[in-house]
Amino acid sequence: MSNARRLTVLGVTAALAGSLMAVPAAARTAAPRTGPAAQDPATPAKTPVAVGYGGAVASVDADASAAGIEVLRKGGNAVDAAVATAAALGVTEPYSSGVGGGGYFVYYDAKTRSVRTLDGRETAPRSATKDLFLENGKPIPFADAVTSGLSIGTPGTPATWDSALKKWGSRSLGQVLKPAEKLAEHGFTVDETFRKQTADNEARFRDFPATAALFLPGGKLPVVGSTLKNPDLARTYRELAAKGVGAVYHGAIGRDIVRTVQRPQVAAGSTRKVRPGHLTPADLAAYRTVGHQPTHTTYRGLDVYGMAPSSSGGTTIAEALNILEKSDLSHLSEQQFLHRYLEASRIAFADRGRWVGDPAYENVPVKGLTSKRFAASRECLINDDKALTSPLAPGDPRHPTPCGSTGKGVPTTYEGENTTHLTVADKWGNIVSYTLTIEQTGGSGIAVPGRGFLLNNELTDFSFTPVDPAVHDPNLPGSGKRPRSSISPTIVLRHGQPVLALGSPGGATIVTTVLQTLVNHLDRGMPLVDAIAAPRASQRNAAATELEPALWNSPLRKQLEALGHSFTQNPEIGAATGVQRLPDGRWLAAAEKVRRGGGSAQVVDPAP
């Protein structure tokens, strides 16, 4: 969620002045705050870039970034601040994140110069089979699955917070939840993005009394500039602070979640068919985060670490980078650069669709997918004079053969686009890149009565039926299984020292957003904030590539069409944030200039 009411640009170094000049005037004008926070002199302005010392936070929301900065100022580390920021996003970005969802957490430990990860993805109920979304042998309509108990997986976010703090944090859960608890109690200011997201979901929100009570105050859409409070969520955070996340996985909050999934409360007179889910207390009690080894590849002498399966983000970005490394992207024309980028992404998505699923259930060839040898066998498919045709058939990373393929090409399945990402660094050099989600905008649309949060619809990320009946689909539902994700929190190191970290929301476009931002910065020399702001294209082994308006209306579109590319327009792709370690030891935090109303980059101290 954006907070356009507080947008200004803070002063930064002269070297960044050119980047800041590109920020639209609307994003440099702060609208007045309303509500209790209006009198708070510490409330930050919203800016897409900040440079300074003591640590940095970048998220889509100024209140959430401020929560992380508050924890850093009080001596907390990057992990503490990341959880504080995420909890605050549960207040101000409730349609994208929260207690009822899951996510992936990537952490760089400055002391050991190592990268660790946590898979906090939601899991299917233990009763789930491959026929989870079938009725009479046919898949139910996707929209029906989204707004149902069937789509709700066991939430992983509370366990992720708890695991991260216990493994690498320095503060208690209660301490880092405090800023978010206050924010929920006192409220935040509604902006245009929040109102529009509410309006887009109004019909289904009205079908659930608990959801309508939270987000349609007085039965009406929230007014831009008004203050929206969530005292139920404040109480939930206080309960988590007092009792720990056992309140979710073994206690009263969990019982309320199960009751809501199994018997969704639908408004009298609603004609919506809301199928109940099968989540049980035993499913909650069995939930665990998983500490996978990160994916790893080298690129231009740098080490790139990402999220391993159940997310496809790390393997797909690694494969695409390995393919692109064979080209000198810095000296290509814009047309040649975009052509190569799109083809590398097309190929990597063809391979992820065939091979990536939950590694607890599927034999995922991670080493093969991220290997230079496999990338070389796939890079030879690229013709600089002609675009490939999708759906492209996958290769076999276990037995790479030059330009070889195996099986039949299948299109990429749909994933909900509304997620949120935060990036944090501290004064000791630790970094967190954390993407969390409830899947669609508004998740399942079903709020837990009295608890102040929405439940996810994450299980719709499974394939409802095999994409190709003749080929094994690694992403079919299963008992306790994690659905495949595209979430791509990424950390880049040079000789063990941090260079940058970033990530984005956006469903399957997350992979392409992170990939394009990386090559914009590392190969094309764009400052990080400009690499994030640059117009995006997303090719995911589909017949048409999605283009943002700036590329759609550019001569580049016709130049690429001449090579055989076809396009469809997408008004907005992703909403990235990142942090970068500058050579003089300062941190640079970067966020969107325009997308979702602009992001919020903050540092602890702009001065030494």
**pLDDT per position as a tens digit, 80-104:** 999 999 999 999 999 999 999 999 9
What would the pLDDT profile of 7-26 be if each residue is shown by its tens digit? 222 232 333 333 333 333 23
* Buried/exposed code over 172-183 (b: 16+ C-beta within 10 A; e: otherwise): ebebbbbbbbbb
What pLDDT, on a 0 to 100 scale, did the predictor assign at position 282?
Answer: 98
More confident residue, 264 or 37: 264
- Which token pair is 278? 């099968």
Is residue 493 within 8 A of residue 294, CB to CB? The reply is no
Nearest to 529 by CA among 602, 484, 588, 587: 588
Tokens of 386: 């002609």
For residues 444 and 147, the answer to whether their CB atoms sit within 8 Å is: yes
Whole-number percent of the chain with pLDDT over 90: 88
pLDDT for residue 30 is more than 50: no
**Helix (H, G, I), strand (E, B), or coil: what is residue 104?**
strand
Question: What pLDDT was estimated at residue 412?
Answer: 73
Residue 48 confidence (pLDDT): 97
Q: E-strand spans in 427-527?
A: 431-437, 490-494, 497-503
Q: How far is CA 26 from CA 6, 11, 155, 592, in A?
A: 10, 17, 38, 14
Q: Which of 211-215, 286-290, 416-420 comes out lowest in average pLDDT?
A: 416-420
Q: Which pLDDT does position 2 carry in this prediction?
A: 39
Question: What's the pLDDT at 41?
Answer: 38
- List the one residue out of 276, 300, 311, 99 whose CA is nearest residue 184: 99
CATH architecture of 4-290+414-552+570-605: 4-Layer Sandwich (3.60)
Single out the residue of 83, 78, 49 nearest to residue 64, CA to CA: 83
For 20, list phi and psi in degrees, rounded to 5: -70, -30
Confidence of residue 44 (pLDDT cuts 50, 70, 90): low
Averaged pLDDT for residues 303-313: 98
The per-residue pLDDT for 221 is 97
Structure token pair of residue 495: 């000789």
Q: 182 or 607: whose pLDDT is higher?
A: 182
| Residue 1's pLDDT band (cuts 50, 70, 90) | very low
Average pLDDT of span 360-370:
98
Indicate if the pLDDT at residue 33 is higher than 50.
Answer: no
For the stretch 273-289, pLDDT in tens is 999 999 999 999 999 99
User: Which three-class secondary structure state does DSSP give residue 347?
Assistant: helix
pLDDT at 501 over 80: yes
Question: What pLDDT, on the 0 to 100 scale, is given for residue 20?
Answer: 32
CB 78 within 8 A of CB 169: no
For residue 389, the tally of other CB atoms under 10 A from its CB is 11
> How far apart (Å, rounded) are the C-alpha atoms in residues 538 and 88?
30
| pTM (predicted TM-score) | 0.92
Average pLDDT rounded to a whole number, residues 563-570: 97
- Average pLDDT value over all residues in the chain: 92
- For residue 39, pLDDT over 50 is answered with no
In percent, the amount of the chain with pLDDT more than 70 equals 92
| Residue 539 amino acid letter | Q
Residue 18 pLDDT: 35
Give the mean pLDDT of 310-318. 98
Q: Measure the CA–CA gap between 206 and 1, rounded to whole angstroms.
A: 21
The predicted model gives 387-401 an average pLDDT of 96
Spatial contact of 595 and 574, defined as CB atoms under 8 Å apart: yes
Structure tokens at 94: 């409730």
Amino acid at 131: D
Query: Comparing 556 with 2, which gets the higher pLDDT?
Result: 556
Of the candidates 505, 455, 483, 457, the residue with the CA atom closest to the CA atom of residue 99: 455
Q: What is the pLDDT of residue 21?
A: 31
What are 332's two structure tokens? 């290509």
**Closest Cα partner for 460 from 130, 133, 211, 156?**
133
What does the CA dihedral 219, 220, 223, 227 come to, rounded to 10 degrees? Answer: 10
- Answer yes or no: is pLDDT of 582 > 50: yes
If pLDDT is split at 50, 70 and 90, which confidence band does 308 have? very high
Q: Which of 21-30, 136-145, 458-467 has the lowest mean pLDDT?
A: 21-30
Asked if residue 505 has pLDDT above 60, the reply is yes
Distance of CA 74 to the CA centre of its chain: 27
Determine the average pLDDT of the residues in 557-573: 97
- For 287-294, what is the mean pLDDT? 97
Query: To 5 degrees, how large is the angle CA 24–CA 25–CA 26?
Result: 90
In whole angstroms, how far apart are CA 238 and each of 89, 174, 180, 186, 256?
A: 16, 7, 10, 14, 16
In this predicted structure, what is the pLDDT of residue 207? 98
**Sign of CA pseudo-dihedral 298, 303, 304, 306:** positive
Domain ranges of the chain: 4-290+414-552+570-605
Question: What residues are annotated to the active site?
Answer: 419
Distance from C-alpha of 235 to C-alpha of 514, rounded to nearest angstrom: 36
Residue 8 CB contacts under 8 Å (≥ 6 apart), including other chains: 28, 29, 30, 45, 46, 47
- The helix/strand/coil state of 518 is helix
Q: Which two tokens stand for residue 342?
A: 């799109």
228: β partners? 188
The structure tokens 């408004």 sit at 267
Top-confidence residue, 4 or 486:
486
